[in-house]
Amino acid sequence: MSETTSAEFFATLLMQGFAGISLFSVLLLMALGLAIIFGQMGVINMAHGEFMAIGSYTTYILSVLASEQGWLDIYFPFSLIAAFIVAGVAGYLLEIVLIRHLYQRPLDTLLATWGVSLILQQIFRSVFGAREVSPELPEWIMGSVQPGEGIDIPVNGLFVLGLAGLVTAGVALMMFRSRWGLQVRATSQNRLIAGAVGIDTQQVDRITFALGCGLAGVAGAAFTTIASTGPTSGSLYIVDTFLVVVFGGAASMVGTLASAFTIGQAQSILEFLMTGSMAKVLTLVTVVGLLMMRPEGLFTAKVRR
């Protein structure tokens, strides 16, 4: 008797852990974007969550079009790309219109991007309504696989995990192999000298900001497979995303990865053991405690400066 219940318990725990994987994946995509923007230009983008929502709404719009055309089976991968482009272009414009005028003024950028987030939320409300929307998803993403007795692992979780893995690998590759990545790493170490050796640092800023927002857009598209989207969906995720970035150490991609995993898993498993808000409080307290011991985050670069 007690054996079956403990088996059931572990099966549920495993499934809950898998729910944590989906959360981890979305957090990871969000945190990557936020971290590369912060690393490049020291800007904390309070509107990052709304760029995620832009990605979700883009997916929603495409799903409506796709169902009219009967393309429901194939539209989803394209919506990922579209979400990236739409959020990226929006980010590019925001950088040109607002952000670049506020460099070296961290408090002003914080306030300004917070304002942008409110404006965007209101635009979502006017265009899509206050009710949450969900894109119609293709059948293949809605199923589940059963690797063992009583264990149900949803395909959407696997899909989102694979996506986050691919995107992370792509960003890492760009960061360490591309000209853009080299210029980002140089500029974030010494902006003035980077300019003096010939790097157009403002161009790098624009591209980086657009890319970071584009990544939030992809996170938003992925997000539609695990929850529905409302005008304030983005703002619900922004705090967790900040937590991931700070906890992982803003300068380290491995740190971001590890901390997204820890926080995603901790939240999801704790939510199973206690109420949702208690789980959040416990995660927050733990992270703050660890940060008191390691103020620079989990991972930092080891080099003489």
Partner 1 sequence: MLEVRNLHAGYGQSEVIHGLDFTVGDSEILAVMGRNGMGKTTLFKSLIGIVPVRSGSIQLKGQELSGEESFRRVRHGLAYVPQGRLIFPTLTVEENIRTGLDAASGGTVPDYVYGIFPVLHDMRKRRGGNLSGGQQQQLAIARALVSNPSVLLLDEPTEGIQPSIIKELARTLKRIRDLRQLSILVSEQVLSFTLEIADRLLVIEKGHFVHESRREDVDADSIARYLSV
Query: What stretch of H or E contains 66?
Result: helix 48-69
| Under rule CB under 8 A, residue 172 binds partner 1 | no
- Look at residues 173, 231, 233 and name the one whose alpha carbon lies nearest to residue 26: 233
Which C-beta is closer to partner 1: that of 131 or that of 304?
304
The reply to whether 194 sits near partner 1 by the rule CB under 8 A is: yes
The stretch near partner 1 (CB under 8 A) out of 36-44, 54-62, 199-207, 267-275 is 199-207
Among 8, 10, 145, 179, binds partner 1 (CB under 8 A): 179
Query: Of 87-95, 163-171, 186-194, 215-223, which part binds partner 1 (CB under 8 A)?
Result: 186-194
Tell me if 42 contacts partner 1 by CB under 8 A. Answer: no
Please say whether the beta carbons of 49 and 197 come within 8 A: no
Number of residues that bind partner 1 (CB under 8 A): 21
DSSP for 198-258 reads T--HHHHHHHHHHHHHHHHHHHHHHHTTTS-B-TTHHHHHHHHHHHHHHHH-TT-HHHHHH
User: C-alpha 152: how far from its chain's center?
Assistant: 25
Of 67 and 189, which CB lies nearer to partner 1 in the complex structure? 189
CA distance 12 to 150: 8
Q: Does 200 bind partner 1 (CB under 8 A)?
A: yes
**8/6 Cα distance (integer angstroms):** 5
Contacts of 89 (CB under 8 A, 6+ apart): 210
Within residues 282-301, the interface with partner 1 by CB under 8 A covers 301
Stretch that binds partner 1, among 68-76, 122-130, 193-201, 224-232 (CB under 8 A): 193-201
Which residues make up the interface to partner 1 (CB under 8 A)? Answer: 179, 182-183, 185-186, 189-190, 192-201, 301, 303-305
